[in-house]
A and B are shown apart, each in its own frame.
Chain A
């Protein structure tokens, strides 16, 4: 069989994260909280710009004016020699940059094209107790901004799209370029076409200001979704927006108030997502397309090394294993069963859950019993007899195969609020199978040999929140839908975990018509791929109100206000503790290695509450929109000057929120309760 070289962009999905500064650092290329060879620093730290892999420290989080730096997403190109259907893990792949390639050709230039869009205001509402099921049986949830009816009142309505969608169009940049290309209304749209960059002067660029004479923009004009740059090696660097928001003005001449957490009418933000393409231009004038990637511009990472028990990687991997034939030796798609002879690799398939459990204490107010129990879990190694550990029989892990267990709280873990319609979170079915195999003593020591590109895919998605998509932080339930991906990944040469790009004919773009449509929705058998904006549209608008409120909840928030849990109805649990820190230890208060009492991550003026359920939030959602950038970031001691000698601690640094002398909202010991309704007892 002949060998063919294909080119792929990695990570297949990467995350850019908003910040208020012009400055930036690079997306992490290691996986949160996992051990790294040769250092006590664990994975997940972003990278200093201009370097290959040098970690940032707390001094890199803000610029000289105190503004929060953005996280840029760095993409690389890899060459793979394939001689038949692909498999996973491939273990191969070589990064390529302009210059001679391993196959003898000379790569002269890379033309990168990215198209960012934000369709949130034009999309459907998030339905907290239904999740993706709100799209089942041919139905769709209510549209956001129903008052903007247009002519038909449907998601593809031209007027609605013109007034509610943010679409600056695509942007192309050459690998040799030294100038950034901005996603604003004053920079023409452009895309790569063979070895050329074509400008689209008739592209219907749309920002909130395009159709609104007056807007309330509390942090400055929402006039850009970010920019493109290339680094010295011709890699692509995608910078996100600056976390700006815009609100329409109502008939009384005041900004439309924020009335909820998820679907605020009349509001826009500058998060976005879209396809990343690369055309390779060789010195002989020929060109070749790489298999594309996707970029998601989302919330900041306030605790980049704190591992989620279930990450987006966990969900994407589970989807590929069980529905897209990722590893036939692990899961048989025909019988829909895991192979009982499969032996998971301890370091890459079992240990990450253990590491995640022990890291939760740094962003949640866990009781001492949980901290000590999690530490005992973290001490488990591949050499231990599973029956002689605290995890004997997996008695403290909620089984995702038993539906009733999502109602069982203590002692089952993870003890955080579950996905839509479920009281508590579970690990994925694949994660649980790996744990079961370990418990049965069927596992191998060591890790999984990933290729360098595959490692980037894993690292990128494992640093994101999974499991609880109500709606989530970076992405939502679409990540579990097979039809968003290139499903013939074995035969096509694309490799797995790649979002399918909908083919867009940019030559047809005209100013008078919106170019993009309502786009992909789940459970409607839409297999043409995704358009720009088709992932971020499932997230809250504006994102800050959701981030703020999703701190601590009664489980009934997921179950139509009915307590289905085995706990007291007023009991409070953490929503997204790894990705949305709740209770933290302030680095400045750690003296002589002794931990101080925890404080809420969101604290100080404007946060006082007479109900513990909202104690860790800004009470006025508008304050969240204005002050999200003041929240501190939890980093390992090794990344905080003055605390380098305590690698076991993960502490909050660089908060610009007030530290109350004596908190009026102290962090309570867990378990704690919401105040009951009037007339009810605790």
Chain B
């Protein structure tokens, strides 16, 4: 099993401007072939998985074990199928084995978008490519972070927390309040309710985050 930590050091997963440390952390999270063991090494704690892909492999493995309990058509949310015109479905509509294939497809879509197929240099599967808002839809997230690592983006200058003005503090308070509302609304959404203001609130949180950055304030989420 390769260990890319040395290659992507130093790294940091603390929230901060998208510098080399943060990009290294993202490369580690999305690194392909971190663990290809089958069955995956299972853990009860999400933080014990090597990366996102390994975690999702475990989810897929678990779903395969519980196929007979899988019921489609319940609590499904589809906001993005128009962004993936070549993907058969973004929801699980069937039960049992057929439903599991839909689950497995969606997990594959997530992991392959993130890490690519198995090698860092191959295009991701055509059906998993974003057909709308991505100028490089064939590249996995890992590949995209590698590109960014080669040319770091311009970022907002951030202040030390002790230097925040009352206005800065207020922006953080607004963000934290909206995040709390969003969490509540997500719970409703995934429990089959249809909270009408979910979409504007999701976008408002995005605006809050960038508003913080624009003022040199590092966003916080709790």
Contact = CB atoms under 8 A, between A and B. Distances in A.
Which of A387, A388, A396, A672 is the most central at the interface, judged by chain B CB atoms within 10 Å of its CB? A387
B204 A671 contact: no
A51 B214 CA distance: 52
- Please list the 3 inter-chain residue pairs (A to B) with the smallest Cβ-Cβ separation, ordered nearest first: A393-B211, A671-B132, A376-B200
Interface residues of A, number: 35
B13 to A, nearest CB: 24
7 contacts: A376-B197, A395-B206, A395-B207, A409-B133, A411-B203, A568-B132, A671-B132
Interface in A572-606: none
B134 interface: yes
B85 A673 contact: yes
A396 B206 CA distance: 9
Given A387-B170, A393-B208, A395-B210, 6 more contacts: A372-B196, A387-B171, A392-B208, A393-B214, A570-B131, A673-B85
Contacts of B81: 669
Nearest to B171: A387
Interface string A663-677: 000001111110000
B132 A392 contact: no
Given A367-B82, A568-B137, A671 B199 contact: no
A564 to B, nearest CB: 9
B162 interface: no
Interface of A: 367-369, 372-373, 375-376, 387-393, 395-396, 409-411, 563, 565-571, 668-673, 681-682
B135 interface: yes
Contacts of B86: 682
B83 interface: yes
A392 B131 contact: no
B160 interface: no
Contacts of B15: none
A436 to B, nearest CB: 11
B176 interface: no
Given A373-B203, A396-B203, A567 B170 contact: no
Nearest to B175: A392
Nearest to B135: A566
B6 interface: no
B191 to A, nearest CB: 20
A165 to B, nearest CB: 46
Given A372-B199, A672-B85, A682-B86, A567 B133 contact: yes
Nearest to A565: B135
Contacts of A569: 135
A272 B82 CA distance: 43
Contacts of A566: 133, 135
Nearest to A389: B204
Contacts of A376: 197, 200, 203-204
B130 interface: yes
Contacts of A682: 85-86, 131
B135 A567 contact: yes
Interface SS of chain A: loop
Nearest to A569: B135
Nearest to B137: A568
B79 interface: yes
Interface string B71-93: 00000000101110110000000
Interface in B169-222: 170-171, 174, 196-197, 199-200, 203-204, 206-208, 210-211, 214
B126 interface: yes
A672 B82 contact: yes
Interface in B37-53: none
Contacts of B203: 369, 373, 376, 390, 396, 411
B207 A390 contact: yes
B131 A568 contact: yes
A372 B211 contact: no
A671 B82 contact: yes
Given A369-B79, A369-B199, A373-B199, A392 B135 contact: no
Nearest to B214: A393
Contacts of B133: 409-410, 566-568, 571, 671
Contacts of A571: 131-133
Interface string B123-161: 000100011111101000000000000000000000000
B35 to A, nearest CB: 31
A391 B83 CA distance: 24
B174 A671 contact: no
A570 B137 CA distance: 12
Given A392-B207, A567-B135, A571-B132, A387 B174 contact: yes
Most buried by A among B83, B126, B196, B211: B211
B132 A673 contact: yes
B174 A568 contact: no
A588 B82 CA distance: 28
A396 B85 contact: no
Given A369-B79, A369-B199, A563-B135, A568 B130 contact: yes
Nearest to B177: A388
A639 B194 CA distance: 33
A520 to B, nearest CB: 41
A258 B69 CA distance: 63
Contacts of B131: 568, 570-571, 671, 673, 682
B199 A368 contact: yes
A393 B204 CA distance: 10
Contacts of B211: 387, 392-393, 395
B135 A373 contact: no
A555 to B, nearest CB: 11
A387 B137 CA distance: 34
A673 B171 CA distance: 38
Contacts of B82: 367, 668-672
Nearest to A670: B82
Given A368-B199, A388-B174, A392-B174, A671 B83 contact: yes
Contacts of A367: 82
B194 to A, nearest CB: 11
A396 B200 contact: no
B135 A568 contact: yes
Contacts of A568: 130-135, 137
A395 B131 CA distance: 24
Interface in B51-109: 79, 81-83, 85-86
B104 to A, nearest CB: 23
